[in-house]
Amino acid sequence: MRLIYQLAVSALRTLTPLLAMGGGKLAKGVAGRRHADQALAAWGETLRDPERPTVWIHAPSVGEGLQARAVKEALVERRPELQVAFTHFSPSAESLASRFGSDTSSYLPWDLRGPVARALDGVQPDLLVFTKTEIWPVLVAEAKRRGVPVAIVGASVPDGAGRGRLLARLVLRDAWAALDVACAISDIDAERLVSLGVDPGATRVTGDPGIDSAASRLAQADTDAPYLRPFVGSRRPTVVAGSTWPSDEEVLLPALRALRERVEKLCVVIAPHEPGADHVAGLLRRLRDDGWNATTLDDVEEVVSGDGSDTPSASYGEPVGAPTWNAVVVERVGVLAHLYRVATASYVGGGFHEDGLHSVLEPAAAASPVVFGPRHANARAAGELLEAGGAKLASSAPEMTEILGEWLGDPQARKDVGQRAHGYIVGHLGAADRTARYLEQLLTDR
């Protein structure tokens, strides 16, 4: 199975010139992976301090990267001398890589013996750490061949996950068995990890470090920042909708239009999961057609900073006017967690999307009541928030209108749900430090 896997990856790699054409996520990921092994090896050979230990941390995408960063920060607090190499798989994590706080960052090399060996021999990690959802069999095998301990943190195996299917089990069986430590989010995840092949003696239940990450980022929000100040000062009821897909917006926009008839001076902020220019322009157009005075977050920030005025937006050609806008489309990444800080109520996208729900932790950390769509089986925290009374589920636009209308019209009901959401966060803090404790032990043993 390992041979078949490597042949398949090799065949995919030969298609790199074709797959890297265009500007889509696949093309960007393939292009970024092309020389990743050389970039990691070059750092290791020229900049790595051989007198200091090195940890290689890998996360597939942004959500996992935020979990990994919380663990990294807790580990560096324990071992300040650590050097960190960070790799990711998805192009969406490029912006996070620059803020991860690592000594070097890169796409993950192709999971083939040559590229992996080159990267490992350059970086010379004292510990290899995967995050949440994935491990790579060749990278694990080559690390173990060099005596490098391997761990996975924030590990979660949702019901029906692809890793539980027969082919994935056969390909990954040896990699799971090779893990020295597997830090699971819950008891159920630990049991499922064992069923995949992880040594029961290597499993630990440490909780979700993403909760620590969400709480930390909310605490760092500067409400005097130009992109937050107008929402803080306006006192308008504000709905923040984060990480939305077109499938979310088909339900969300009619709900918000109906809600505007019920809630005076309603303001909405929509942050698409993929804020490309075409999507932003289309969303602005739809909002304006629905009667909103819609603009972008960049334009709001320019007016508040004194750099703009009631002039046409440079990017999208409509009047901005700080006193008059009531709908804002976020055309950048990295600010959504802070925007939840100014939300009267929140919507989290993905629940009407085939890949499932995005993180509900940030609005919960902001003590904002949160509503989302029905496809949330991939997000354990969403189900637990529902059970705790800190969130509600909407399967249609009318349901969403009713839920948001109740919260915006009844301050006490809104406060009760928000406090339950925040209580869930407070009650689950500490996972990053618990996880770091086990990683530190692996470094000490080595």
Instruction: List the Cα angle 206/211/213 in 5-degree steps.
Output: 110
356: confidence class by pLDDT, cuts 50, 70, 90: confident
Contact 350/372 with Cβ under 8 angstroms?
yes
Evaluate whether 2-207+430-445 and 219-427 have a shared fold.
Answer: yes
Residue 358 pLDDT > 60, yes or no?
yes
Check residue 37 and give its pLDDT. Answer: 94
Three-class SS state of 371 = strand
Residue 182 pLDDT > 50, yes or no?
yes
Token pair in block for residue 228 = 């937050």
Residue 370 pLDDT > 80, yes or no?
yes
Token pair in block for residue 381 = 């925290």
Radius of gyration over alpha carbons of the chain, in Å?
A: 23
Integer Cα distance of 286 and 412 in angstroms: 33
* Structural domain spans, the chain: 2-207+430-445, 219-427
Integer Cα distance of 271 and 38 in angstroms: 36
Helix axes 113-123, 36-46, angle to 10 degrees: 20
Which of 204, 163, 200, 164 has the alpha carbon at shortest distance from 182?
204
Check residue 18 and give its pLDDT. Answer: 65
Question: Which residue carries 């089986």 as its tokens?
Answer: 377
- Residue 23 identity: G
Percent of the chain beyond pLDDT 90? 72
Residue 408 pLDDT > 90, yes or no?
yes
158: confidence class by pLDDT, cuts 50, 70, 90: confident
Integer Cα distance of 446 and 440 in angstroms: 10
Q: Is CATH 3.40.50.11720 the right assignment for the domain spanning 2-207+430-445? A: yes
Q: Is CATH 3.40.50.2000 the right assignment for the domain spanning 219-427? A: yes
Token pair in block for residue 202 = 């290597």
Task: Give the lowest-confidence range in 215-229, 237-251, 392-406.
Answer: 215-229
Check residue 70 and give its pLDDT. Answer: 97
Contact 434/214 with Cβ under 8 angstroms?
no
Q: What is the mean pLDDT of the chain?
A: 90
Integer Cα distance of 143 and 129 in angstroms: 11
pLDDT digits (tens, 9 = 90+) for 293-350: 999 999 988 876 665 444 444 444 443 444 579 999 999 988 999 999 999 999 999 9
Please enumerate in sequence order all residues whose Cβ is within 8 A of that of 185, keeping only pairs 6 or more positions apart, or say none: 154, 155, 156, 205, 206, 207, 208, 380, 431
Check residue 9 and give its pLDDT. Answer: 82
Instruction: List the Cα angle 193/383/99 in 5-degree steps.
Output: 70
Percent of the chain beyond pLDDT 70? 93
The separation between CA 4 and the C-alpha centre of its own chain, rounded to angstroms, equals 32
User: b vs e for 190-210, b when ≥16 Cβ sit within 10 Å of the residue's Cβ?
Assistant: bebbbebebeeebbbbbbbbb
Instruction: List the Cα angle 19/21/22 in 5-degree steps.
Output: 120
C-alpha to C-alpha distances, 193 to 158, 378, 444, nearest whole angstrom:
10, 16, 25
Residue 20 pLDDT > 70, yes or no?
no
Helix axes 166-178, 187-196, angle to 10 degrees: 100
pLDDT digits (tens, 9 = 90+) for 371-395: 999 999 888 899 999 999 999 999 9
Q: DSSP state, 264?
A: T
Helical H segments across 179-296, by residue range: 187-196, 209-219, 229-234, 246-260, 277-289
Count of beta carbons in the 10 Å neighbourhood of residue 113:
15
Residue 152 pLDDT > 60, yes or no?
yes
Mean pLDDT of 31-50: 92
Check residue 155 and give its pLDDT. Answer: 96
Mean pLDDT of 109-135: 95
The better pLDDT of the pair 21, 236 is held by 236
